[in-house]
Amino acid sequence: MKKNDLNMDKIISLAKRRGFVYQGSEIYGGLAGTWDYGPLGVELKNNIKGLWWSRFVRNRGDIYGLDAAILMNQEVWKASGHVNGFSDPLVECKKCKKRFRADQLEKNKCSDCGGEVGEERQFNMMFKTNIGANEDSSSISYLRPETAQGIFVNFKNIIDSFHPQIPFGIAQIGKAFRNEIAPRDFLFRAREFEQMEIEYFINEKNWKKHFEEWIKEMREWIEEIGLNKKNIHEYETPKEKLAHYSKRTVDFEYDFPFGKSELYGLAYRTDFDLKSHTTGSNVPLEYYDQEKNEKFTPHVIEPSLGVDRTFLAILCDSYTEEEVNGETRVVLKIKSSLAPFKIAILPLSKKEDLQKISKKILTELKTKWACIYDETQSIGKRYRRQDEIGTPYCVTIDFESLNDKMVTIRERDSMKQDRIAITELKKYFEKKYE
């Protein structure tokens, strides 16, 4: 199907119907900006995170993993500038009292009732809470609005424990929380989300070289997860629009059904963060160069990727409608390495003899690949179900299988079918998933 024929209603409907994503607190009327990932959503998310971790942590020797606490000392957020500066422009409609982000309204009119809006004010997006039994200024903490600060405050720990050679990075996957004024566009802008971030520490003089290297890494990651290059745009942020800590930022934008919007960001954060936390904590966050016998504050390049936006982009990019024998086939052409299930085991009927063979095949294959077993409804309807959830291969066990010990393998995208011996199944899929 053409990209401009796709709308978010189709994506949201499929996501709920097939168990990818549900509205948070749905039976109580929901909670805006919150989403629950169902069984297939969890599998897809874990595959995204696992692929990212393998590529950027396990398969490299210069990046160290971290899982920092969500709650941190409030002084962290004062030093980073979030307490005073992490805000969005807020306006309220004088007529219906609904609140909006000022930069998302046209002509200062309420998008719901057309009423006039009041004066703009700043709204801090951090979720505030209190630690312990006392509720006073000393017990204040915040749900982290980003994972980056947990990395910066652990910089010295990584230096002391592992003595890395610069350049090196610290990577983290974790939840972040932002009290968005107007969450919107399904998973795109939510109040609870997950980030995959790296803070890559470098010598200032080499920042341009490393920045270009990370642009290449980002492009290769986008290709690895199977997104169509035609839907990706690189936006060089003008100097006047750069964040206060950034000297250069490139946004990787994606053509979502609701418009072109940021998917990933790559920022040169200079030495702002380490120096801010050095000042705030009175603990020097420096790197000692043994060869030159000198200390300096490293600069930082930050590739920031959202798990949820990656998830949404993959759903949008892979969603396909095709005409097959006069009917519309909906198929998620997800890259096989990311598919929630790699193989579906489908006995032609619920006859005990077929079940016995099918479950034996399931037991053998699921030790290496995520498999799903389905024996409900006609084989045609089951194929369509697997198409909709992006399963690359279906193994059908029919009555001939009882005699010839062979099964039919159907490939998702081409719908091509091959007959293969049961004893060869493992080798067949090892070649497909090597």
Angle at 236 between CA 2 and CA 314, to 5 degrees: 35
Structural domain includes residue 87: no
Structural domain includes residue 284: yes
Q: Can you give the CATH number for the domain in which 195 is found?
A: 3.30.930.10
Instruction: Check whether residue 298 and residue 400 sit in a common domain.
Output: no
Give the pLDDT score at 107.
Answer: 74
- Say if residue 342 is exposed, middle or buried (CB neighbours under 10 Å; 0-12, 13-18, 19+): buried
- Tell me the pLDDT tens digit for each residue of 320-374: 999 998 999 999 999 999 999 999 999 999 999 999 999 999 999 999 999 999 9
Query: Which candidate, 359, 291, 390, places its Cα nearest to that of 14?
Result: 390
Structural domain includes residue 82: no
The C-alpha atoms of residue 177 and residue 186 are separated, in whole angstroms, by 16
Instruction: Check whether residue 265 and residue 345 sit in a common domain.
Output: no
Give the pLDDT score at 71.
Answer: 98
Q: Please report which helix (H) or strand (E) contains residue 40, including its range.
A: helix 39-53
- The DSSP code sequence of 180-204 is -SS-BTTTTB-SEEEEEEEEEEE-G
Structural domain includes residue 111: no
Domain end: 282, 316, 350, which one?
316
Domain end: 249, 282, 316, which one?
316
Instruction: Check whether residue 253 and residue 349 sit in a common domain.
Output: no
Instruction: Check whether residue 266 and residue 205 sit in a common domain.
Output: yes
Query: Which candidate, 252, 255, 279, 287, places its Cα nearest to that of 267?
Result: 252
Domain end: 247, 282, 316, which one?
316
Distance of CA 218 to the CA centre of its chain: 14
Q: Please report which helix (H) or strand (E) contains residue 346, including its range.
A: strand 343-347
Give the pLDDT score at 112.
Answer: 83
Residue type, 266: L
Instruction: Check whether residue 230 and residue 352 sit in a common domain.
Output: no
Instruction: Check whether residue 158 and residue 216 sit in a common domain.
Output: yes
Give the pLDDT score at 178.
Answer: 96
Give the pLDDT score at 104.
Answer: 79
- Tell me the pLDDT tens digit for each residue of 164-173: 999 999 999 9
Structural domain includes residue 329: no
Instruction: Check whether residue 309 and residue 382 sit in a common domain.
Output: no
Write down the residue that tokens 């749905």 correspond to.
26
User: Going by C-beta distance under 8 Å and a sequence separation of 6 or more, which residues neighbour residue 130?
Assistant: 136, 139, 140, 141
Structural domain includes residue 356: yes
66: number of Cβ within 10 Å? 19
Instruction: Check whether residue 404 and residue 287 sit in a common domain.
Output: no
Q: Please report which helix (H) or strand (E) contains residue 250, including its range.
A: strand 248-256
Give the pLDDT score at 189.
Answer: 95
Counting the structural domains of the chain, the total is 2
Q: Is 402 helix (H, G, I), strand (E, B) or coil?
A: helix
Q: Residues of the chain whose pLDDT is less than 70?
A: 1-4
Structural domain includes residue 406: yes
Q: Is 6 helix (H, G, I), strand (E, B) or coil?
A: coil
Instruction: Decide: 280 and 327 in contact? Cβ < 8 Å.
Output: no
- Say if residue 316 is exposed, middle or buried (CB neighbours under 10 Å; 0-12, 13-18, 19+): buried
Instruction: Check whether residue 262 and residue 367 sit in a common domain.
Output: no
Instruction: Check whether residue 383 and residue 271 sit in a common domain.
Output: no
Give the pLDDT score at 55.
Answer: 98
Give the pLDDT score at 68.
Answer: 98
Give the pLDDT score at 342.
Answer: 98
Give the pLDDT score at 1.
Answer: 54
Instruction: Check whether residue 233 and residue 355 sit in a common domain.
Output: no
Instruction: Check whether residue 375 and residue 283 sit in a common domain.
Output: no
Q: Can you give the CATH number for the domain in which 347 is found?
A: 3.40.50.800
User: Going by C-beta distance under 8 Å and a sequence separation of 6 or more, which residues neighbour residue 58?
Assistant: none
Structural domain includes residue 18: yes
Query: Which candidate, 332, 276, 286, places its Cα nearest to that of 148?
Result: 276
Instruction: Decide: 248 and 212 in contact? Cβ < 8 Å.
Output: no
139: number of Cβ within 10 Å? 13
Instruction: Decide: 103 and 89 in contact? Cβ < 8 Å.
Output: yes
Q: Is 390 helix (H, G, I), strand (E, B) or coil?
A: coil
| Domain boundaries, position 415 | 341-432
Residue 145 corresponds to which tokens in the numbers above? 């609005």
Query: Which candidate, 123, 423, 152, places its Cα nearest to that of 283?
Result: 152
